[in-house]
Amino acid sequence: MRIVESIARMQQLTRSLPRPVVLVPTMGALHEGHLALVDHAKKLVGRKGSTVVTIFVNPPQFGPREDYRKYPRPFKRDCLLLQNRGCDLVFAPTAANMYKPDASVTVMESQLQTVMCGASRPGHFVGVCTVVTKLFHLVQPDIAIFGEKDFQQLTILRRMVRDLNFPVRIVARPIVREPDGLALSSRNVFLSAEERQQAPLIHQALRDAENKLRLQSVSLRALENLIRRRIERASRAKVDYVAVVDPDTLQAKEPRNLPVLLAAAVFFGSTRLIDNVLVK
């Protein structure tokens, strides 16, 4: 497995990588959720192609009071895990090389980012779209794989690829969960023992809402309240948002017509967790 830090070297290698090239963009601190994306990438490249994983904690997608500095960076461990999964190339540039001090060009999606995480984290998705654009230019993948846990990110990136005509196919993969239902996240390591014990309530609340929805007609507001009240039973939980939306437009939607996305963002202390259930 090659590990490349230099942007110039990556650009040089890109020209000769065996195709198809399948990219899994990450911020490192890899868990089984990321590794499941890598396994899927391996499947898609077959015997001939190349699996590329990027590890880059991207400063612009963190707000000023968010966890950029303390975001876990177990780089050596990540590389070992990727090597064991058969990844071909890791691209891990430095922030100083990715962004010149006077960088002034960004990529902004302007509709889907106004709600949910985009509303709570102003500028976050401009940071995401800009870095993913840069990674697409640098790696020139045929396919890029993203997890469904960041459902809004996935929807926005699909829109970006469509609207800016990137020659990249976006593939989505399902959320990987702990046995108690908690969605895997690099941020789970920040949870105290008590918070960790309570955190699966997010998934339980979304599942309960899904079950209710399947059994009886229930309004958007009633469903949102149900999810919120259920999560707030956890003494350490502070709900950031609960959303019942159309999975394509991310606009609030009466859940009579499926599909509908049930999503929530919840603070446990300073750790912000997100989760969702797509009801088809």
Contact residues toward ligand PAF (CB under 6 A) are: 25-27, 58, 61, 128, 131-132, 150, 153
260 vs 203: CA distance, rounded Å = 16
* 221 vs 21: CA distance, rounded Å: 44
**Integer Cα distance of 240 and 207 in angstroms:** 18
* 137: annotated active-site residue: no
Minimum distance, C-beta of residue 131 to ligand PAF, in the bound complex (Å): 5
Q: Which of 34, 40, 124, 203 is catalytic?
A: 34
Q: How far is the CB of 232 from ligand PAF (least distance, A)?
A: 27
E strands along 38-166, which residues? Answer: 50-55, 89-91, 143-147
Q: Three-class SS of residue 86?
A: coil
Q: Give 61 or 198: the residue with its C-beta nearer to ligand PAF.
A: 61
* Closer to ligand PAF by Cβ: residue 124 or 253: 124
- How far does the chain reach from its first CA to its final CA, in angstroms? 39
Dist. CA 247–CA 236, nearest whole Å:
29
Q: Which is nearer to ligand PAF, 103 or 258 (CB)?
A: 103
Nearest distance, CB of residue 147 and ligand PAF, angstroms = 7
Q: CB 91 → ligand PAF: shortest distance, Å?
A: 11
The CB-side HSE value for 7 (13 A sphere, CA atoms) comes to: 14
The length of the chain is 280
CB of 236 to ligand PAF, least distance (A): 25
| β-bridge mates for residue 22, sequence order | 51, 143
Q: In 4-14, which positions are buried (b, 16+ CB within 10 angstroms) versus exposed (e)?
A: beeeeebeebb
Nearer to ligand PAF by Cβ, of 26 and 140: the residue is 26
| Radius of gyration from C-alpha coordinates of the chain | 19
Helix, strand, coil proportions of the chain in percent (round to 5)?
Answer: 40, 20, 40
Task: Pick the closer one to ligand PAF by CB: 14 or 58.
Answer: 58
Q: Show which residues are catalytic.
A: 34
